[in-house]
Structure 1
């Protein structure tokens, strides 16, 4: 992982076909019966909920870019150690930016947890991207060294238009688990706070956002960083691609409701399904939620094509 050229030189910017998705062990693509829209947005998966959206005109939007993937034990029986030190693999990130393989005009933060935000300050500084997030997210980012003039505050409800694309910010929810519906590392912090986070429990959830990125042609990609949503925020949205996280309680109930609310999107692409204790330059390892998500989508919306993308591969509808 420390040598960017060696670690990432084996894969190009590839398109993922239905056959490739179906060849991943135990994960066949769901049968699709509806005509598919012709897209002009290419999506590359960098693991977890890290997505690169390449738009017409050369514009690039990153969502929750986290490539360092320091070990936490999140998907072990014991779970993540809250005292795990935050790490940033600057050599890896700099190699990707310097080579031109990774760049960004915008970086969208769904929430403040370590597996979503840790690399953002360094990537923002290197790419010059505008970063969108809540007050807590921006407080954490600034404390971690992100350029403050590149931080844009959002609360949900914003609709921003740029050269050739738009970003719609939606209030959303993080998944909660257990009888007491708990969220990992909950809490908020004001924008004025500047004490530097040191361990992963310092990176608070801080409110969760979802984002819809739409090209000028109208092709829309909707991303959720947590396995939950606010139904009222989604009224009237009809994304072409839904990036849907694995996990969360009662997937068999909330997934059908979500798909119905969104008008049964033509494409559903799973996200946040790999065990990130394993390297990004190896095939993704399912932590155990992928098949359940696939089954929920297939049962609720058989006309939606379920596409599984491996690490650093591209889905181009």
Structure 2
């Protein structure tokens, strides 16, 4: 296999074929809710969460504890955004070197612009995990991820005492919020339903990763963060999920990646399972070769996601948040 064949295109990984999703949603499935499910339009968002988007699937979630102080949870924080060509026709070169913009992270943390009590890792790819070890050092945050994620972070210099291995199923209570860890799935890519940079790194840390191909998926997790007020947000790091893991969850906000072209009724099935959440906020829809400090540039999946959400759950508000903007429930 030559280097060109081995390049990874995010357009292929995430898929842009949401037309099938929209058609499935219009086939009468949305109306076929059980009597135990709320009718579309009945749910109201609970107050108590602030969400800020740092691009890609990087989210800052803030709430207040009983003492009135803010608590902050970060999901997949990746500020560096080094150039990969991921959304170009050629795709990302697996031999792209990993970079961490420590000056940028120092500036954001030292100024108080960014802080963290917990950092949650959905999977081990370069656009999700690269900055986490350094951010853990800077903030002292507890970091949650699979055994593979923890081993990759150890190899990148993360403080071992701050790392927490999760497998999915954990339900953990902290001061001001609760974290529910859910087993999930990464986006599949055409034509064989593969996962980009698949694999695990169990047992012991590998040698220090040098290239983006060294940061393997390593098992995918989803997270629900629940404020003491009851307000909750559910995040998926890839455009796929395990439906049975989500039964009974009623988040106020769903952070939903664009794509899902290989997943049958990707949007409709998810939103029905979650009881038609008040807010659906797109995530992982910007081309991260462009600056975080400019308006987000759609890689091509945003409008198809909007159409699928509007068709499947018309009472859910599809709220687009731009880089560094905040949504408050």
TM-score above 0.5, yes or no: yes
* Matched position secondary structure for 1:59: strand
Instruction: Report the Cα offset of residue 35 of structure 1.
Output: 5.8
Unaligned 5+ runs, structure 2: 1-39
Alignment of 1:223-234 (within 5 A): 223-234=235-246
Contact 1:33–1:303 (CA under 8 A) maintained in structure 2: yes
Tell me the equivalent position of 2:212: 200
Alignment of 1:16-165 (within 5 A): 34=42, 36-57=44-65, 58-165=70-177
Partner of 2:7: none
- Aligned residue among 260, 268, 274 for 2:280: 268
Match of 1:183 in 2: 195
Shift of residue 179 of structure 1? 2.8
Aligned with 2:244: secondary structure? Answer: helix
- CA–CA distance in structure 1, aligned partners of residues 322 and 191 of structure 2: 33
The question of whether the paired residues in 2 share the 8 Å contact of 1:138 and 1:191 is answered with: no
Which residue of 2 is the match for residue 9 of structure 1? Answer: none
Q: How many residues are aligned here?
A: 286
- In structure 2, what is the equivalent of residue 218 of structure 1? 230
Q: 3-state SS of the aligned residue for 2:213?
A: helix
Q: What CA distance in whole angstroms lies between the structure 2 residues aligned with 1:100 and 1:192?
A: 35
Q: Check conservation: 2:45, 2:278, Cα contact below 8 A.
A: yes
Distance change >3 Å, CA 189–CA 251, structure 1 → 2: closer
> What TM-score results when the alignment is normalised by the length of structure 1?
0.88
Contact 1:252 1:296 in 2 (8 A): no
Compared CA separation, residues 95 and 189, structure 1 to 2 (3 A): same
Q: C-alpha deviations, 1:158-182, integer Å up to 9, x for none?
A: 0000012100000000010113101
CA distance in 2: counterparts of 1:33 and 1:155, whole angstroms? 34
| Distance of 1:276 and 1:239 partners within structure 2 | 27
Q: 1:131 aligns to what SS in structure 2?
A: strand
Contact 2:240 2:263 (8 Å CA) reproduced = no
CA separation in 1, counterparts of 2:301 and 2:203? Answer: 35
The aligned residue for residue 12 of structure 1 is none
CA distance in 2, matches of 1:119, 1:70: 11
Structure 1 runs not aligned, ≥5 long = 1-31
TM-score calculated relative to the size of structure 2 = 0.85
**Cα pair 2:193 2:262 within 8 Å, conserved:** no
Is the CA contact (8 Å cut-off) linking 2:185 and 2:240 kept in structure 1?
yes
Tell me the SS of whatever aligns to 1:73. Answer: coil
- After TM superposition, give the deviation of residue 193 of structure 1 in Å: 2.4
SS state at 2:265 partner: helix
Shift of 1:252: 7.2
Residues 209-238 of structure 1, C-alpha deviations (whole Å, 9 max, x = no match): 000000011111000000000011111100
CA distance in 1, matches of 2:196, 2:104: 28
